[in-house]
């Protein structure tokens, strides 16, 4: 694995911290079974946003699509 600094001038400590994060992510990815999909965070689940919050059809429905319940 090759890491190249494209911009900036990181200190050795900053570079070591970045490399530690990359190695930890690589170790976590290799520990996960290859056939299993990555677990999805519930924060990003579309059902969290759309569940029981869809606006009723009507002339002003477009304005309620971004702020459900408003």
Of the listed ranges 3-7, 29-33, 45-49, the least confidently predicted one is 45-49
Q: What totals of helices (H) and strands (E) does the chain contain, helices first?
A: 2, 0
Tokens of 16: 């070591």
Query: Model confidence over 57-70: pLDDT tens digits?
Result: 777 777 666 655 54
Model confidence at 24, pLDDT cuts 50, 70, 90, reads very high
Tokens of 46: 């579309």
Taking alpha carbons only, the member of 36, 34, 32, 6 closest to residue 18 is 6
Q: What is the pLDDT of residue 17?
A: 94
Q: What is the pLDDT of residue 31?
A: 78
Model confidence at 9, pLDDT cuts 50, 70, 90, reads very high
């Amino acid at each position: 694995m090759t890491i190249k600094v494209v911009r900036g001038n990181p200190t050795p400590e900053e570079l070591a911290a970045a490399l530690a994060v990359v190695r930890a992510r690589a170790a976590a990815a290799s520990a996960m079974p290859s056939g299993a999909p990555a677990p999805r965070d519930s924060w990003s689940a579309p059902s969290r946003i759309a569940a029981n919050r869809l606006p009723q059809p009507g002339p002003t429905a477009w304005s309620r699509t971004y702020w459900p319940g408003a």
